[in-house]
Amino acid sequence: MNPKSGLVISLLFVLTAPAVSAEVYRNVDAYGNVTYSDEPSEGSETIDVKPVTTITLPKPEVVEETIKLREEVQRQGAAYESVSFTSPNNNQAFHSGSGDVQFEVRSTPPLQSGHKYEVTLDGQPIGQSESGSILVNNVFRGTHEARAHIVDENGVQIKTGSQITFTVHRPSALN
């Protein structure tokens, strides 16, 4: 028999072999002792065993790379003392018929090359700017939360400022 024939026969055997599934049997003896086994015995009942949840851990190289990236983000963020809004002010309320809101962001020290300011409104990113000026159109009436961030060239947030709250008043067709 040549090696190829042996390989084909082995593959056919593997593919046609019935699926092996281990069963678990529960048995209670005359004294009330419960035992479990993979072999049936007189008076035992088959137990349905749910599949075991498994977790695949990342490779050590991936963990090391993630740690290095996190340290780099912390190092870049440490270069800034602060990032904050100069407009709107915290707890400010204002009228805006169109719903336009002009955000002005500043940092100490000023932005480094490759970095941008990012504004999030109600937890969602709404714009980035190197100048610190971001205009957002059609903001719904009501109270909103905004936060200023500094992001690196990859869009990773490296510094986050304090959250502000502001209220937009808009005319209504109902009033």
DSSP-assigned states of every residue in 10-33 = HHHHHHHSPPP---EEEEE-TT--
Say whether pTM exceeds 0.75.
no
Are 45 and 124 found together in one domain? no
Confidence tier at 30 by pLDDT (50, 70, 90) = confident
Residue 11 lies in a domain: no
In a domain, 5, yes or no: no
Nearest to 140 by CA among 169, 118, 163, 120: 169
Is 174 inside any structural domain? no
Distance in angstroms (rounded) separating the CA atoms of residues 101 and 120: 13
Asked if the model's pLDDT at residue 17 lies above 70, the reply is no
Indicate whether 63 pLDDT > 50. Answer: yes
- Please tell me the total count of domains within the chain: 2
The answer to whether 153 touches 132, Cβ cutoff 8 Å, is no
Residue 161 lies in a domain: yes
